[in-house]
Structure 1
């Protein structure tokens, strides 16, 4: 059975010190680790941010690690902290192009092992569309990864609609990844931004797309929510009840019940909980649930779907999760990887 991991992150092995290059800001760049030989420190401006190991940038190491779990294909995208939506648009475009060129080169060099998702300067509609066209027409990427909010603006903001409209026209899939979690500074203890904020951010993004009428106006837009949809699907009952009991507050721009959108978008399977995954499969259908891991980061499913293989899920559902749903979301042919 072909296994494709559609949610993985990668960085180039080297990149400029963007803060020095642009002369401002806390851009993320890489510096050889002084404490861990063979590792690299991600620096945010002049401050240490996180240490990453070789599997964050070495394509050969990644392929070997994936072999252990019988997984051939990785869909790769940048680490969300690289989005840099807060920066000057032209600088963000330059950074995005640098990251996209690296991923495109990886996709070209290992066509049986890597598929790329690009990043775009979402804070500037014209530049974002410009880079999307380059991704599709020149770099031959099937999709993009975007954040759950853009400088604290919801994805329903009118300035983003032309970006989504162009993505639908180009046939580019969209993966929404939580970042810049709301309330971050007030709950840093206990890793709460990652445990509480990330699931809420993903629900924020989907509720914005639904209530803002984006998905209603663009029915062919292929959207995937990372981390199994965050808290959106588990709290759909509350979301629907709010829609029904306070339409004056909720159903302002879209009169359609939010529950009706279940099965109209994709999610990955990162639940770490087979019972929750079974619920998501029940309401979404296995055709809209994809194998994803968040590799190589520790909060991800670093056994690459083992909890699914060890479950009692029907073979048809497993095959959909491991392969068919991802090919459908990205509009790719299975023969490409055989």
Structure 2
């Protein structure tokens, strides 16, 4: 079964709740229809982007999957829906709605979709409560979080109980870059927050996870980073050099960072065959998952072809396209 692990969804304009009406002013996501098959996404009063109905239409999604040769998608909320800025009670209500919505989509076509939830990490206790609801009631085995959720880096001690709860519930963690982004004002042209900012943000998040000792403390944590780890594979040699040269880099870990990198999963989204080959070399053939970022414009249109073009052994291609995802999700699929 060919699995696209990295895809996103948003409820249709008529199903997205009026969170401003429920919780008061804020940067709440909302959709305004601009055509029969499209809507404008707003965060509060700021327009973000025009979305085609494939973001919410299962019929469109299934047609695109068939065209791409994808048998199953793992669907997660578009990253802007996490609302880490919101008060904890409101944030949990948003997460609960989105998780139930995704569970409904999966239940409608369990042969074609698996789910990935979200949690209100601005309040770790509420996040753990929602995580248990995800795994227990909804039987969803993966959760998407931001690269710096609610302003906390991934090695923040406050997040350690959440990561432990992910292990305890058997939930895999998918880290997707979200605000804040490295670069600030320097990224404000040419769509650079996404094109350049996201890979840099991911590299920082992965480095903090490793050097901060999260995997040293929790080696059983199953964690995956979007966009092939962003810039991380290219800076890993420098991070190893820092470990050798700087005492503070050795404060929380007992081995060089590249050894922990082999414990981390990444998706295969590089848009460049030699880069994907390099990513497999750095993380391992068993740690890369097929992912497209569907249906965003910076997604991969031909995911299987892109992997086949990377000059990898046939067994590695099969593992990335079909096999590794089930080890990551646990229980053999």
State the TM-score, normalizing by the size of structure 1. 0.94
Pairwise mapping of residues 224-263 of structure 1 onto structure 2 (< 5 A)? 224-247=224-247, 249-263=248-262
Alpha-carbon distance in 2 for matches of 1:310, 1:256: 34
Look up the SS of the partner of 2:73 in the other structure. Answer: strand
Distance 1:15 1:184 in 2: 30
Residue pair 1:63, 1:72 contacting (<8 A) in 2 also: no
Partner of 1:75: 74
Number of equivalenced pairs: 330
Corresponding residue for residue 23 of structure 1: 24
Q: Which residue of 1 aligns with 2:208?
A: 208
For residues 194-253 of structure 1, what are the alpha-carbon distances to aligned partners after superposition, in whole Å with 9 as ceiling and x for unaligned? 122111111111111111111111111100011001111111001111111112x32222
Specify the SS of the correspondent of 1:52.
strand
Instruction: Give deviations 1:79-104, integer Å, cap 9, x for gaps.
Output: 11111111100000000011100001
Where does residue 158 of structure 1 map in the other structure? Answer: 157
Indicate yes or no: 2:183 matched with 1:183: yes
Is residue 296–residue 302 contact of structure 1 (8 Å, CA) maintained in 2?
no
Aligned counterpart, 2:193: 193
Tell me the SS of whatever aligns to 2:233.
Answer: coil
Residue 158 of structure 1 and its aligned partner are, at CA, apart by 1.1
Q: Distance in 1 between matches of 2:214 and 2:284?
A: 22
Partner of 1:149: 148
Q: Does 2:122 correspond to 1:104?
A: no
CA distance in 2, matches of 1:175, 1:259: 20
Distance in 1 between residues matched to 2:309 and 2:192, nearest whole Å: 30
Task: Show structure 1 runs of 5+ residues with no match.
Answer: none
Correspondence list, 1:1-338, <5 A: 2-13=1-12, 14-33=15-34, 36-180=35-179, 181-247=181-247, 249-334=248-333
Deviation at 1:78, TM superposition (A): 0.5
Shift of 1:272: 0.6
Other structure's SS at 1:82 match: helix
- Give TM-score scaled by structure 2 length: 0.96
Q: CA deviation at 1:310?
A: 4.0
Asked if the contact 1:5/1:73 (under 8 Å) is kept, the reply is yes
